[in-house]
């Protein structure tokens, strides 16, 4: 991968080509379709995006976590081109193809646990979650679904209901889907609940014998990269087994190697009944999947789950190439390496700047939470917004997260060089230091 020429302290602004394109966009693209960066891309490679005016940016968002193998990885591009030249679409439910089967074979090997597993593919993260819920309901013949505080599962009617954050995801979009119950997510920074305390809250809300599935993100994504209390997920696994509940891991953001393991669930030694995967799976092409214990996923009758485009051949070819790259370039080891650098720097930020209330994460899935006051933990939302805005001027694209937009999260490509990571973190530190004065 070519190294970035991004230097700290430069000042970038959208040029005339971006401005002209943005004016065209404003006229014809729905207002709700907004973008973090105020420019349009010409091309991208590795961790660098070049805009239509020739400005270079370091991408710490990886297209919202879709690019563990980086932008336009040559092997992925080649696989897409080769597949497109052979056939673009059949609908797997009309005529089947090998790349779908191969991808399923590879994913069941990556999924933790000893039970035999099978896979069904879909298009988006939300679709995978929605289908996991359908499978859990079909399997248990129960209706209730349990979700967590700060969860993000998507924007369809059901997944929007399961998502926590009101604005912009839920406000004015009701009525919501029924039978969804929300409980706290025990985590060391905000809610260090014991499992017994958590269980009391749950059973006060809904009878476990009526719960079809509990859907959790092993490390919460959009919600702010919260990691659970260390014993929470193993105990949740026992609770689900005891009560006949389908345990569903939404690994749309935490999966595909980002945390240093293929699925974040592995860090906790658990075997979920169903795992949802998407985002980096096909390097941003629309592909998601549910990997499930065969007895659970096979309960659904013929054609009960599916869709016209699901498991598209180009997306499957891209995904198989993504897995090749992860294996050949040892990107999970790279996640650990980059993650250790991030962990060290973020903890230095925390000891140096009061604004940084917490530093957390696993592997390369790391974040800092910005607070106005370390005791009250009041969110420093405005400061975070300003840092993200000013970083763009210095050639760094950063992502925020959290119910109050006060968490800065890393969704870096795992092919990022140490030099690029250092450059980005230097810019970030400069801005944190300015915001702290």
Ligand X SMILES: Cc1ncc(COP(=O)(O)O)c(C=O)c1O
Residues that bind ligand X (CB under 6 A): 64, 124-126, 129, 152-154, 217, 221-222, 250, 252-253, 278
Indicate the residue among 50 and 156 with the shorter CB distance to ligand X. Answer: 156
Task: Kindly state the smallest distance separating residue 222's Cβ from ligand X, in Å.
Answer: 5
Distance between CA atoms of residues 88 and 16, nearest Å: 36
Indicate the residue among 278 and 359 with the shorter CB distance to ligand X. Answer: 278
Radius of gyration of the chain (CA): 21
Q: Give the C-alpha distances (Å, rounded to integers) separating 107 from 112, 167, 225.
A: 10, 35, 24
Indicate the residue among 129 and 355 with the shorter CB distance to ligand X. Answer: 129
Q: Is the peptide bond before 168 cis (omega within 30 degrees of 0)?
A: yes
Task: Kindly state the smallest distance separating residue 78's Cβ from ligand X, in Å.
Answer: 25
Indicate the residue among 55 and 253 with the shorter CB distance to ligand X. Answer: 253
Distance between CA atoms of residues 414 and 330, nearest Å: 10
- HSE-CB at 366 with a 13 A cutoff on CA atoms is 26
Distance between CA atoms of residues 289 and 124, nearest Å: 8
Q: Could you tell me how far CA 313 lies from the centroid of its own chain?
A: 23
HEC sequence for 208-229 = HHHEEEEEECCCCCCCCCCCCC
Three-state secondary structure call for residue 415 = coil
Task: Kindly state the smallest distance separating residue 115's Cβ from ligand X, in Å.
Answer: 23
Using alpha carbons, select from 63, 7, 9, 5 the residue that is nearest to residue 36.
Answer: 63
Indicate the residue among 217 and 273 with the shorter CB distance to ligand X. Answer: 217
Indicate the residue among 345 and 409 with the shorter CB distance to ligand X. Answer: 409
Indicate the residue among 60 and 349 with the shorter CB distance to ligand X. Answer: 60
Distance between CA atoms of residues 47 and 41, nearest Å: 13
Using alpha carbons, select from 202, 284, 275, 281 the residue that is nearest to residue 243.
Answer: 202
Task: Kindly state the smallest distance separating residue 288's Cβ from ligand X, in Å.
Answer: 7
Task: Kindly state the smallest distance separating residue 128's Cβ from ligand X, in Å.
Answer: 7
Phi-psi region of 136 (alpha: psi -120 to 50; beta: other; left: phi over 0): alpha
Distance between CA atoms of residues 417 and 3, nearest Å: 7
Indicate the residue among 249 and 371 with the shorter CB distance to ligand X. Answer: 249
Task: Kindly state the smallest distance separating residue 254's Cβ from ligand X, in Å.
Answer: 7
Distance between CA atoms of residues 430 and 432, nearest Å: 6
Indicate the residue among 68 and 431 with the shorter CB distance to ligand X. Answer: 68
Task: Kindly state the smallest distance separating residue 129's Cβ from ligand X, in Å.
Answer: 6
- 178 CB neighbour count, 10 Å cutoff: 10
Distance between CA atoms of residues 384 and 371, nearest Å: 9
Indicate the residue among 60 and 152 with the shorter CB distance to ligand X. Answer: 152
Using alpha carbons, select from 185, 251, 180 the residue that is nearest to residue 211.
Answer: 180
Task: Kindly state the smallest distance separating residue 184's Cβ from ligand X, in Å.
Answer: 18
Task: Kindly state the smallest distance separating residue 170's Cβ from ligand X, in Å.
Answer: 14
- Nearest to ligand X by Cβ — which residue? 125
Distance between CA atoms of residues 193 and 347, nearest Å: 24
Distance between CA atoms of residues 368 and 225, nearest Å: 9
Task: Kindly state the smallest distance separating residue 419's Cβ from ligand X, in Å.
Answer: 29
Distance between CA atoms of residues 86 and 352, nearest Å: 56
Indicate the residue among 125 and 357 with the shorter CB distance to ligand X. Answer: 125
Question: Per this entry, what is the length of the chain?
Answer: 437
Task: Kindly state the smallest distance separating residue 289's Cβ from ligand X, in Å.
Answer: 12
């Amino acid at each position: 991968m070519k190294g970035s020429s991004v230097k700290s302290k430069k000042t970038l602004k959208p040029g005339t080509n971006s401005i002209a394109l943005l004016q065209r966009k404003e006229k014809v693209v729905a207002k709700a379709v907004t973008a973090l960066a105020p420019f349009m891309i010409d091309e991208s490679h590795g961790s660098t995006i070049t805009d239509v005016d020739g400005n270079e940016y370091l991408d710490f968002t990886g297209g919202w976590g879709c690019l563990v193998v980086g932008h336009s990885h040559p092997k992925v591009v080649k696989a897409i081109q080769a597949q497109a030249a052979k056939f673009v679409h059949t609908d797997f439910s009309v005529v089947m193809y090998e790349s779908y089967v191969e991808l399923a074979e590879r994913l069941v090997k990556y999924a933790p646990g000893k039970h035999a597993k099978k896979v069904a593919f879909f298009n988006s993260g939300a679709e995978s979650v929605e289908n996991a819920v359908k499978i859990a309901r079909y399997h248990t013949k129960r209706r209730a679904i349990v979700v967590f505080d700060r969860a993000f599962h998507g924007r369809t009617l059901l997944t929007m209901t399961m998502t926590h954050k009101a604005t912009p995801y839920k406000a004015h979009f009701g009525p919501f889907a029924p039978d969804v119950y929300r409980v706290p997510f025990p985590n060391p920074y905000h809610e260090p609940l014991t499992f017994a305390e958590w269980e009391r809250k749950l059973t006060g809300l809904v009878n476990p014998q009526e719960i079809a599935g509990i859907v959790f993100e092993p490390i919460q994504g959009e919600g702010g990269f919260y990691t659970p209390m260390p014993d929470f997920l193993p105990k949740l696994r026992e609770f689900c087994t005891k009560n006949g509940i389908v345990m569903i891991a939404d690994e749309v953001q935490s999966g595909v190697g980002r945390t240093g393991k293929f699925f974040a669930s592995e860090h906790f030694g658990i075997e979920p009944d169903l795992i949802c995967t998407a985002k980096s799976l096909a390097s941003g092409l629309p592909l998601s999947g549910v990997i499930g214990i065969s007895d659970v996923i096979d309960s659904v009758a013929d054609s009960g789950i599916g869709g016209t485009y699901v498991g598209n051949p180009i997306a499957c070819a891209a995904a198989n190439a993504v897995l090749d790259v992860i294996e050949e370039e040892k990107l999970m080891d790279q996640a650990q390496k980059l993650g250790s650098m991030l962990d060290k720097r973020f903890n230095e930020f925390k000891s140096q700047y009061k604004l940084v209330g917490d530093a957390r994460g696993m592997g390369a899935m790391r974040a800092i939470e910005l607070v106005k006051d370390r005791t009250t933990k009041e969110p420093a939302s405005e400061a975070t917004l300003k840092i993200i805005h000013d970083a763009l001027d210095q050639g760094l694209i950063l992502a925020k997260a959290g119910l109050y937009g006060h968490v800065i999260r890393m969704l870096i490509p795992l092919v990022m060089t140490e030099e690029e990571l250092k450059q980005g973190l230097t810019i970030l530190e400069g801005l944190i230091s300015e915001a702290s004065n």
